[in-house]
Amino acid sequence: MKLICIGRNYAAHIEELENERPQEPVVFMKPDSAILPKEQDFYIPEFSTDIHYEVEVLVKIKKVGKHIAQQFAHTYYDEIGLGIDFTARDLQSQLKAKGLPWEKAKGFDGSAVVGKWIQKEKYENIDKLGFSLLKNGENVQNGNTSLMLWKIDELIAHVSTYFMLKKGDILFTGTPSGVGKVSPNDYLVGTLEGEQVFEINVR
Ligand code: ZN
């Protein structure tokens, strides 16, 4: 399986990193080895001194598909989740400056936190989901899927133009503003529509 990630999908986050607003979704991948095993602590890797959390809504793909039309995209998933796209911001900035791929900064071991999955039927409208990240009890990121530049079904249509989606693939839909650094002993909690869906200890 693969992790397909979207960058720059919330206007306020584009501004905080002083990035350009893209004409179409920014897409990158993480390998399946990036998934942080359940119940395991996140260890800050030795190659970075500036690991950032990015809380993101996740979508689990349930069947194979390519060139999926936006109007049928909703038939390709039943479960919604929340996770973290951990990013070595120092390394990413160096790579970006040289125009090089981001994989080392985005796809390293443990860089993908995948929280509890929730049936989408539970929600009235997946394009109006509130979510947040708490660091040591303080609310550091607040988002709502209504603020996405490209909504979930648009993202599925777009990425499936390039990559065949397979059962079990996970879409990371981009982070809202408020990204920041983690330090050893930080405790992170993610909530989706007020429900706690993951907790992570940073080492
Ligand atoms: Zn991200």
At residue 34, what are phi and psi to the nearest 5 degrees?
-75, -20
- The string of DSSP letters for 106-117 reads HSSTT-EEE---
User: Residue 63 C-alpha to ligand 1 middle, in angstroms?
Assistant: 24
Ligand 1 mean position to 54 CA, how many Å?
A: 5
Give the pLDDT score at 95: 97
Split into its structural domains, the chain has a count of 1
Q: What is the pLDDT of residue 17?
A: 85
Residue 22: what pLDDT?
87
In this prediction the pTM is 0.97
pLDDT band at 97 (very low <50, low <70, confident <90, very high): very high
**What is the CA(174)–ligand 1 centre distance, in A?**
5
Mean pLDDT value across residues 97-119 = 97
The CA dihedral of 153, 157, 158, 163, to the nearest 10 degrees, is 120
Q: Which whole number is the average pLDDT over 129-133? A: 98
Give the Cα separation of 51 and 55 in Å (integer).
Answer: 13
Q: Is the per-residue pLDDT at 56 higher than 90? A: yes
Assign residue 36 the CATH number of its domain.
3.90.850.10
CA of 55 to the centre of ligand 1 (A): 7
Interval between CA 130 and ligand 1 midpoint (Å)? 17
Residue-range definition of the domain harbouring residue 65: 3-201
